């Protein structure tokens, strides 16, 4: 009995990271401007409100190459001409669906949920991705090495 319980608990623990989804974090100044830390191993959940559109922006130099939506009848998905922004708008309250975006640099996986319009606080107008690993790498390259002078060296 205990062995069976341990096996079931182990299976649930192993499956929980697979079901994890990242939600965009509200911004410090305006909660409708949200930020997502890019992780290629996570699905990002986007909740859109009927009657409202949102815009999604990606990293510098990143261009959208392909977009695929599981059930495209419930969502209007439109990139701008330069393919560096994506406009999303739920147009029907259909069951949730998924979306995959492929850019020249990365792949993104989303779960799309449409809900009726509610409070302004819960709305999302702008979603911005950040890339901390790449920002740290760029910052470390920008720091010049300071040569050790002979005067500073101990005798």
Q: Indicate which CATH number applies to the domain containing 89.
A: 2.60.40.1080
Q: Is residue 117 part of a domain?
A: yes
Q: Is residue 60 part of a domain?
A: yes
- How confident is the prediction along the chain (155 residues), in pLDDT tens digits per residue? 454 433 333 333 344 344 456 777 777 778 899 999 999 999 999 999 999 999 999 999 999 999 999 999 999 999 999 999 999 999 987 779 999 999 999 999 999 999 888 766 678 999 999 998 876 666 666 556 655 555 555 55
Q: Is residue 24 part of a domain?
A: no
Phi-psi bin for 61: left (phi > 0), alpha (psi -120 to 50), beta?
left
Instruction: Sort strands 107-115 and 43-49 into parallel, antiparallel or unpaired.
Output: parallel
Q: Tell me, what's the pLDDT at 134?
A: 76
Q: Is residue 146 part of a domain?
A: no
Count of domains forming the chain: 1
Q: Is residue 112 part of a domain?
A: yes
Q: Is residue 14 part of a domain?
A: no
For residue 71, give its domain range. 32-132
SS3 46: strand
Q: Tell me, what's the pLDDT at 129?
A: 96
Q: Is residue 151 part of a domain?
A: no
Q: Tell me, what's the pLDDT at 20?
A: 57
Q: Tell me, what's the pLDDT at 155?
A: 55
Nearest by Cα to 48 from 63, 29, 69: 69
Q: Is residue 154 part of a domain?
A: no
Instruction: Sort strands 33-37 and 107-115 into parallel, antiparallel or unpaired.
Output: unpaired
């Amino acid at each position: 009995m205990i062995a069976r319980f341990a096996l079931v608990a182990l299976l649930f623990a192993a499956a929980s990271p697979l079901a994890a989804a990242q939600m965009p974090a509200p911004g410090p100044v305006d909660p409708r401007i949200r930020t997502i830390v890019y992780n290629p191993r996570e699905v990002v959940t986007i909740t859109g409100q009927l009657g409202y559109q949102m815009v999604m922006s990606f990293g510098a130099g990143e261009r959208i190459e392909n977009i695929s939506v599981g059930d495209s009848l419930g969502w209007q998905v439109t990139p701008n001409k330069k393919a560096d922004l994506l406009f999303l708008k739920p147009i029907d309250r259909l069951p949730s669906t998924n979306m995959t975006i492929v850019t020249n640099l990365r792949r993104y996986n989303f779960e799309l949920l449409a809900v009726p319009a509610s409070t302004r606080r819960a709305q999302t107008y702008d979603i911005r991705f950040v890339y901390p690993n790449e920002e740290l790498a760029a910052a470390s390259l920008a720091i010049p090495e300071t040569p050790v002078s002979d005067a500073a060296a101990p005798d």
